[in-house]
Amino acid sequence: MRINARLDEEYAHKLTYIQQQTDQAVTDVIKTAIDLYYKQLQQQKPLDLLTQTGFIGCGQADANLSINYKSILTDNLKDKYGYS
C-alpha cells in the first residue's frame, strides 16, 4: 500500500528527528509507529475503552436499579399511563 500524507511543520520536524536518531527510512519509521500503536490498542481491555470514551457512567439511574427494577418500572408505567 502506498500512503501519501501531508505533515505540518511540527510533525515534519518530529519525523526528521526520529529518522536522524534511528537512522531509519520514513517507511520504516511509519511501520514501527503503526506496530507500536497496534500493540497498544490490542492490550487495552474493553472496560478501559468504555471508560475512556465516557460510555460507562454516562447514564443516570437509581443506585439500586438492579435490585428494585420491578417496582421502579411499575411506578414509571403508572405515572406514564395514569394507573393507580
Residue 58's SS3 state is coil
CB 72 within 8 A of CB 65: yes
- For the chain, give the percent of residues with pLDDT over 70: 99
Query: How much helix, strand and coil, in percent to the nearest 5, is found in the chain?
Result: 65, 0, 35
pLDDT at 42: 84
Query: What value does the mean pLDDT take over residues 69-76?
Result: 90
Phi, psi of 2 (to 5 degrees): -100, 140
Whole-structure pTM value: 0.50
Note the pLDDT of residue 17. 97
* pLDDT, average across residues 31-54: 88
For all residues of the chain together, what is the average pLDDT?
90
pLDDT higher than threshold 80 for residue 84? no
CA–CA separation, 37 vs 29, rounded Å? 12
Q: How far apart are CA 50 and CA 58, in angstroms?
A: 10
